[in-house]
Structures are given as structure tokens and as C-alpha cells.
Structure 1
């Protein structure tokens, strides 16, 4: 993964828990990288180690870490670092999710070695859809839940996400049933 991902984990931890907790997490994870460089590639294992260590040091589940990280990614990392690109994704939660493949195509122009997941939207209604998540990276289902929750907050749209199928339980890929309340004018 690119250093941008690990920098975002660091920002989440330091802004919510402080520098001391971040140092403890890096030590627990056995990560001796002083500064993550956004456009430099790092082993996926480093990210997984940081998430696992954050769970232990912060006394929260890996699920809670990943959901918080997903929300942080949308509301802080992506919005502040790539605001124009995020805003071009659509004017609603539904539009943004439908346009997610286009966003990843644009991000690949910045990060050419990026191996992004693939998303497909199916069974669309005015207030729901099934979001299909295809990735070669295991263990990030809860990160996607956090991303969608963050997008709901970004678009001021209360959202409920249910995991309908899991690759870890034999499905071809993860599937999320997403329902939202349409914002009032």
C-alpha cells in the first residue's frame, strides 16, 4: 500500500489518542519507519501490523479500528487531500457510490502502481443498493463499512450497512446491502 494509507492511520491515532499512543502502536507493530512518504509503496503487512497493534494498544477491536479508519479516510484524508476529486464524485451518497470506479481511475493517475479494489452497484432504488466489493487484500470488509458510514456523514445522509456476503465465508466477493434515508431539503 502507498504510504498515504499508513500516514492516514497515524493521523487518526494522533488526532484521537495522541502521539504517545501512536509511538506505542508503532513499537507494538515492530514498525520502525520514522515518516511514511505518501507516494512511496510499503508492504501491505505494515498496514495490517499497525491496525492489529492499534487494536491492542487502544483496547478496541480490529473491526472498530477499521471502521474508524474508513470514516477518517473519507472525512479527513480524502476530503482534505483530494477535495475536488471527491466533490466530482457526485452530489449524493448514491451518485458517489455509483461513480466510485471513476474515482479509482483518477486516483491511479496519481498513484500508478495502485491496485485499487473494484466496486459494482446493483439493485439500485431511490434509497438502497447492493454494493459489491472485489479486492485481492483480505480483511478490509470493516474498512469499507467505515468508508460508507463516512460518505453518509459527508452527504448528511443517515446510512445503514449490512454485510450480505463475505469472501471469508466462501462467497466470490463481499456484498453490502446499503440503505439510506433521503436528506430533507
Structure 2
């Protein structure tokens, strides 16, 4: 993952929990302070260590930390760093989710070796939808839970997640959400 992700996690912890807690997260993770260059690619393990350390320090399950981070990512990091692209990607939550792959395609040239997730939206009986999240990475489904919640806030939509199931895949993740969005 890119340093942008790790810096965003740092910003979230600093903003919501303070400098002292961030220092503890760094200490528990074994990562040196200020070691995240935004445009540099880091091994995914760095991010997983930081999230694991945040879980320990904050006394919250890893899934809850990832969910909180997903929401923060949408409302703070992505909105500030990619606000214009986000605005151009849809006027509603469902339209935005339907255009996520195109949004990722637009920023692919910015990052070397960028491997974005894929999203697919199926209309069931609006306002009910099926959202597919597919990634070569594992363990980030709770982050997507937070993304969905953050997008609901961004688009002032009512979101109800009815179910989330994991589909078998040889490598990575394929989670399927059934949601209502109005």
C-alpha cells in the first residue's frame, strides 16, 4: 500500500485520539516515526502492523479500527485529496459506487504498481442493491464497511446493510453486500 494510506491512518489517530496514542501505536508497531512518504509504495504488512497496533493501543477490535478508518478515509482523506474526482464520479451513493472502478482507473497513473480493488453494483429492486467488493488483498472487508458508511454520510443517504457474505476466491477477497440505499 502507499504511504498515503499510512499517513491517513496516522492523521485519523492524531485527530481522534491525540499525539500520545499515535506514539504508542508507532511503538507497538515497531515502525519508525515519520517513515511514510505519501507516494512511496510500502509492503502491505506495514499497514497491517499499524492497524494491529492501533487495535491494541485503542482497545478496539481490528475490524472496528478498520471500519473507523474506512469512514475517515472517505470523509477526510479522499475528500481532501481527490475531492474533484469524487465529485465527478457521481451525484448519489449508488452512482458513485458504480463508477468506483473508473475513479481508480483515473488515479492509476499517479501510483506505480497500483493494485486497486474492484466494485460492482447490481440493482435488485431499488432501493435495494447488491455490491461486490473484490480485492487481491485480504482482511480489508471491515474497511469497506466503513467506506460504505462514509459514502452514506457524504451523499446524505440512508444506508442499511442487510447482509455481507464472503465468496470463495483463490486469492484475495470477494465480499458481497446486500444493502438498501435511499
Higher deviation after alignment, 49-58 or 171-180: 171-180
Q: CA deviation at 1:163?
A: 4.0
Distance in structure 1 (CA, Å) of the matches to 2:79 and 2:141: 21
What's the CA shift for 1:35? Answer: 3.6
CA contact (8 A) 1:71 1:150 kept: yes
> Can you give the 5+ residue segments of structure 1 that lack an aligned partner in the other structure?
none
Runs of 4+ off more than 3 Å: none
Alignment-derived partner of residue 14 in structure 2: 14
CA distance in 2, matches of 1:3, 1:177: 32
Counterpart in the other structure of 1:178: 179
Report the Cα offset of residue 33 of structure 1. Answer: 4.5
Matches within 5 A, 1:33-52: 33-52=33-52
Q: Distance in 1 between matches of 2:110 and 2:127?
A: 33
| TM-score normalised according to structure 2 size | 0.93
How many pairs are equivalent?
178
Q: TM-score, normalised by structure 1?
A: 0.92
The residue matched to 2:138 in structure 1 has which SS? coil
The structure that is strand-richer by fraction is 2
Q: Distance in 1 between matches of 2:154 and 2:54?
A: 25
- After superposition, the CA RMSD in angstroms is 1.3
Match for residue 142 of structure 2?
142
Structure 1 pair 162–88 and aligned structure 2 pair: CA distance change class (3 A): same
Quote the residue 1:129 is aligned against: 129
Counterpart for residue 27 of structure 1: 27
Structure 2 CA distance, aligned partners of 1:35 and 1:45?
14
Matches of 2:83 and 2:161, distance apart in 1: 24
Shift of 1:160: 1.6
The DSSP-based 3-state class of the residue aligned with 1:123 is strand
Q: CA separation in 1, counterparts of 2:98 and 2:124?
A: 9
CA 1:102–1:125: 2 relative to 1, 3 Å: farther
Quick one: distance in 1 between partners of 2:129 and 2:148?
12
